[in-house]
Each structure stands twice: as structure tokens, then as C-alpha cells.
């Protein structure tokens, strides 16, 4: 029987309204990105990785990642680290900030994370990994989930032995990206492993990797028995792909719609991060968005060189005057959400 991506499912008591999950992505998954993902159909959105050490030492920028808005829920905040006690402490603060789920990262392959003993390194340390999950699950009342890769090396099947141990330790859901840490993002995700993991555990499994179309999402869900699929890089600067994956209908946005969505994203990111951080953070998004709208490369390069986000907004409105009306419609539809901030001495805008 064919899966309907608009069906709801659950992680413990948390109801997820669609089978599309927006992946946690470092340097991408700010609140503005997550709220946008929910508007375009993602049933669950995830924060980028938050360092448990940064939370422990009350790093202002790190604590800024815990700012949560009502319209992005259900939300998973992802934490990483290698010490069970610090991870448990971080999880308690994540719960206090209002997250619906605490997600633990056992999949990041980036050297600056793995060299600290965190991320994908923990795939080969099952006792420590299980100890972290157990400590976090005992520290919070919200469900604990884990995102992992197949293993460190190509061909590894570590995820199949580790997954059941993590569930026994308290994980209420597992997300599997069936590439090795060595692969990074090359090659293909081997979802035969996802199907095997589904058979081994009695909690929902989310399939991550190579979810780029409606048909592919259905194929993965039907062949693996996973509860949901996770979309990552395909949604960077391209929220329309979430709607296309959900419904299987490709409706290319107009240039005005693309420009309007980018302007809204710019404004929301500035509100969240402050002008100085946002101006730098946003530069990579200009190309991601505007290639969907067919804007020429020289125009993108011009935006990247501009000094302020206000200059970027003004230039977009000059290049596409109809974006003003499209933007007004978008803003009229946005829910009024002031968000919540973890009760610590931090900036309401994440350290901006």
C-alpha cells in the first residue's frame, strides 16, 4: 500500500504532522530556515548541532541556538558531545528552552567534531554511545532521538549492532543516513541498511540520504518500512522542493516569489542573528535561492559583494519589482510568534 507523505506519525507522545523531516544542517538550520520548512510542509524540523560544552560554559552564541518559536514546533534540538554528564546537562537546558525532542548526533563526519570524540566517532564506541543516550534519557522527560551513519568506514554495518543498543538505552527514534563517515556526502546512501535497521528495532526509523523527489521518497519509505524521510541539502535555499517532494507536483516559483521568499528569509535571519552575523551567514544563500529563480550569476555575485542586508533587499526589489506584492502576501500569512528564549543571560537574538 502506497504511503501518503501527509500522514501523521508519532515519536513517543510527540505527534509529527507529516512524514517529511527537515534535516539538522550546520551553518544552515537557523530558526528562519526551520520556520520556513514548516510552512512548506516539513512535519518535524531540527536545529543545527549545538555543542554541549558550549552550553555548559554558557557561550552566548551557543545558547542563542536554543531560541524557539511556536510556529516551528514540533522541533528537535540536536546536541553533540562525548561526555554523558555534559550531554545530560545540555539536554535539560534544551528541554527547558521548549524543544519537543532532544536529538543526539552520532553521525557528523567533520574532523573538528570527530577529533573531540563526538559525532561519528561514537559509532565505534558502543558503550560510551549507549551511556550518553541513557544519561540524556534519564535527564529529560521529552523523547530522545539519535541520528547516525552506517559506520566510520565504507561497507560498515555498525549501525545495525549499535541501533538496538541505543533503543535499549532510551532512544525513542533513530535516523539513519546510510553513508559512512569516510564517504561524507559522496556516492549513494544504501537504504538496504535502513530496511534492516527497521526490522531490528521497535521505534520509528527516519530514512536520511538522497531524498530528492516525491518518487524517491515513496520508494525509500515503501522499500524500508521507515516512518519518515529526512530532506537535507536539497532544501537549502529551495523550500519549494519540500512541497514538491510532499505532493509530487512541480510548480516552479516565479522570479517574484523567489525574490520575496529570499527577502523574508534575510529579514528573519537578521532579526535572529543580528546584522553583523547575518550579513556574512546569508551570502551562501543568495546563489541557492536565485538559481531557482533563473537570476543571472553576475547578479548573485553583485549581492554577495554588498555590505549590508538592507542593500541586498533593495537591490532585489529593484531587480524584481513584483516581489514587493509577493512579500506582502507572505508576511500577512506569517503567524505572530515572539518565540521563547532559554532563561539565561543571553541576547534575544542569539548573540547578534
Active site amino acids: 108
Which residue bears the cell 523567489?
258
Name the residue with cell 535502513.
194
Which among 103, 120, 140, 112 has a CA at the least distance from the CA of 24? 103
Q: Establish how many alpha carbons lie within 13 A of residue 146's alpha carbon, considering only the half-sphere containing its beta carbon.
A: 35
Cell numbers at 13, concatenated: 507522545
- Angle between the N-to-C axes of helices 191-200 and 214-224, in degrees from 0 to 180, rounded to the nearest 10: 40
Instruction: Tell me which residue of 149, 138, 160, 155 sits closest to 110, measured CA to CA.
Output: 149
Residues forming beta bridges with residue 144, ordered by sequence position? 102
| C-beta atoms surrounding 38 within 10 Å | 23
| 213-219-222 Cα angle (round to 5) | 140
323-333 helix and 255-273 helix, angle to the nearest 10 degrees:
50
Cell for 212? Answer: 530528492
* E strand residue ranges, 140-232: 144-151, 173-180, 205-208, 228-231
| Close Cβ partners of 278 (under 8 Å, ≥ 6 residues apart) | 266, 269, 270, 272, 309, 352
Q: Are 77 and 119 in contact (CB under 8 A)?
A: no
- Cβ(98)–Cβ(84) under 8 Å? no
- In angstroms, the CA 35 to CA 46 distance is 10
Amino acid at each position: 500500500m502506497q504511503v501518503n507523505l501527509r500522514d501523521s506519525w508519532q515519536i513517543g507522545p510527540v505527534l509529527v504532522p507529516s512524514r517529511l523531516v527537515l534535516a539538522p544542517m550546520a551553518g544552515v538550520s537557523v530558526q528562519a530556515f526551520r520556520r520556513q520548512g514548516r510552512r512548506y510542509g516539513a512535519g518535524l524540523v531540527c536545529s543545527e548541532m549545538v555543542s554541549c560544552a558550549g552550553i555548559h560554559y554558557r557561550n552566548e552564541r551557543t545558547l542563542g541556538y536554543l531560541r524557539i518559536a511556536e510556529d516551528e514546533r514540533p522541533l528537535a534540538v540536536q546536541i553533540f558531545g562525548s561526555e554523558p554528564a555534559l550531554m545530560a546537562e545540555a539536554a535539560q537546558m534544551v528541554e527547558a528552552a521548549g524543544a519537543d525532542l532532544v536529538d543526539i548526533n552520532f553521525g557528523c563526519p567533520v574532523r573538528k567534531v570527530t577529533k573531540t570524540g563526538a559525532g561519528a566517532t561514537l559509532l565505534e564506541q558502543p558503550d560510551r554511545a549507549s551511556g550518553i543516550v541513557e544519561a540524556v534519557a534519564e535527564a529529560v522527560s521529552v523523547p530522545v532521538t539519535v541520528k547516525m551513519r552506517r559506520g566510520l568506514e565504507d561497507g560498515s554495518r555498525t549501525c545495525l549492532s549499535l541501533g538496538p543498543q541505543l533503543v535499549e538505552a532510551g532512544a525513542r527514534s533513530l535516523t539513519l543516513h546510510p553513508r559512512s563517515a569516510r564517504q561524507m556526502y559522496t556516492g549513494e546512501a544504501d537504504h538496504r541498511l535502513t530496511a534492516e535497521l527497521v526490522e531490528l528495532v521497535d521505534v520509528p526509523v527516519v530514512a536520511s540520504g538522497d531524498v530528492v523527489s516525491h518518487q524517491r521518497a515513496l520508494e525509500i519509505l515503501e522499500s524500508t518500512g521507515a516512518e519518515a524521510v529526512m530532506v537535507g541539502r536539497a532544501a537549502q535555499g529551495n523550500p519549494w522542493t519540500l512541497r514538491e517532494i510532499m505532493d509530487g507536483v512541480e510548480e516552479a516559483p516565479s522570479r517574484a516569489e523567489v525574490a520575496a521568499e529570499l527577502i523574508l528569509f534575510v529579514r528573519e535571519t537578521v532579526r535572529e542573528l543580528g546584522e553583523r552575523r547575518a550579513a556574512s551567514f546569508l551570502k551562501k544563500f543568495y546563489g541557492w535561492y536565485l538559481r531557482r529563480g533563473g537570476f543571472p550569476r553576475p547578479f548573485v555575485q553583485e549581492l554577495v559583494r554588498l555590505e549590508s542586508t538592507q542593500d541586498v533587499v533593495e537591490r532585489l526589489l529593484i531587480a524584481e519589482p513584483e516581489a514587493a506584492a509577493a512579500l506582502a502576501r507572505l508576511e500577512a500569512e506569517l503567524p505572530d510568534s515572539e518565540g521563547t528564549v532559554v532563561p539565561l543571560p543571553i541576547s534575544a537574538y542569539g548573540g547578534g
